[in-house]
Amino acid sequence: MTLLKKITLFLATFLVSVQLNAGGLDLKKLGDMLKEKAQQASQNNNQQNQASPSTQTQTNTNSTTTSTTSSTGQSSANNNYQSANDPSRESVKKQKEIIQARKAGTPVEVKTVADGQERITKDEVLVDALTKAVAMVHPDFNLNVTTQYYKTKSEFQNNITKPEYGVIKSFEKTDKENIYAVMGQADPSKNTWSVTAKALINTKLTAENIKKISDDQRVIYTIGFGANAEEAKQKAALAAVQYYHQVEIEPNSIFAKSILKSNYGVVQKFDVLSETADQYTKLIFVKAKITLNDVGTLDKNKFNSIKNDIEISKVKKAPNPIITAFMENIKEVNAAQAILEKALNIKGNAELVKKDAIREKMGVRFADNGFQRGISMTQDRYDAIEERLKDNPKLDEQQRKEYERGSKALIAPALNTVKIFLSAFGSGNPFQGLEAFIVAPRYLAMNSEAINTLATYNSNNGIDNTAMNDAKNSLGD
């Protein structure tokens, strides 16, 4: 196996654990682990290159295994992505299960682990674990699953198991206290909690459920501190906005300075829950319950004014090459989908208006979520194509040619998705790929499912299936 493929497969494996098992996203920890794993992959590759063909075995970060045989009858010793038990496939398999459950409207079981910080209770860590579980099944909710903002959660997250939300059918949890000690000296104040949650998530929600979730996501509990109460309140409000809208704002920007103005339109209500002065630093700490406006309901001029202030107040960041590469890949997939839609008489975007309504109901946010939206729209188009193919439609000669052209056009971008991971290593900045690493398993799963659907139709209708079968094997189906 080439180093390129080995690193790619490692990333698929490792980043499954980031999505399924990590509690919050510790960037330093992620960076250190990425560097360590990259070095291991390089060392393993060098060792295998030096080994003779008769003694060489497959090595990955978890175990060393001998040659196995794939379902196609070919040796998979050098392709652990095709091994049925290889963990690099687990996130994609789980996402396929979620996709199928959402289509059927049935609950799906998700297991997540959250690791807390100092002075964060196990109940708060449980909220993180359950938030991540719901986010895996309902990515359109745009749930914030990081622990970047201390003691910050929405009303929905704090009460995520409430029946009126209808999102969690049942769950089990396991707690583990991590004891902090240096040189045998314990310091209970620095102990942390890890919580494992196994939750049964409902995929079918009512309009009332969605409305309740949307409203309660805009109610944020957080903490701010400053030299005086007004500064502390302003920082609390800024934390709430950044948490909900998933944007990073400069603290002294025009938006930050305007946020608490009564006629500004961002904050609907600010309730002070407590206000205390630290005896050592003399700083004022304010715990607050902040209700944010649904900015989508504001008049056009006010909305555009706030949006403009947000844009010029954002922390300036260089373009993310990983996200850019994924967006280009999505364009290629969408182009292939358009050909398939034409061949199958599907009015692509027009058919998605109703499906897109759920995203509108979840409220407008100022985050640049084109990547997330692109993935959701791609899934919707795949759903429409699959529904059409379920009827096993008979195509005339011209339709058949278009269908085959669209199928072939889909193969390359579907297979190239995994390779985009390597751009993070090439840039020397693993953090640039963080969002892509979290979302990628879902995108990989939908492309894999689409290839499988098209291959099944081909087999039933006498269409040359060689390329599709090769793609299925490469994607681990």
Which string of DSSP letters, residue by residue, matches 92-143? HHHHHHHHHHHHHT--EEEEEEEE--TT--HHHHHHHHHHHHHHHH-GGG--
Task: Please check whether residue 139 is in contact with residue 210, taking contact to mean a CB–CB distance below 8 angstroms.
Answer: no
Could you state, in chain order, the average pLDDT of each consecutive group of 10 residues for the chain (477 residues)?
Answer: 42 42 41 49 46 35 31 36 45 85 94 92 95 91 85 96 97 95 89 96 94 95 96 97 94 96 95 95 96 92 94 87 86 95 76 52 72 84 89 92 95 84 54 61 86 91 89 72
The Cα–Cα gap between 473 and 75 comes to: 12
Task: Please check whether residue 343 is in contact with residue 395, taking contact to mean a CB–CB distance below 8 angstroms.
Answer: yes
pLDDT of res. 96: 86
Task: Please check whether residue 33 is in contact with residue 430, taking contact to mean a CB–CB distance below 8 angstroms.
Answer: no
The Cα–Cα gap between 7 and 14 comes to: 10
Task: Please check whether residue 158 is in contact with residue 121, taking contact to mean a CB–CB distance below 8 angstroms.
Answer: no
Neighbours of 318 (CB within 10 A): 7
The Cα–Cα gap between 440 and 427 comes to: 18
CA distances from 305 to 259, 262, 297, 312 (A): 12, 15, 14, 11
Neighbours of 96 (CB within 10 A): 20
CA distances from 88 to 37, 74, 84, 451 (A): 14, 19, 10, 19
Q: Is 474 helix (H, G, I), strand (E, B) or coil?
A: helix
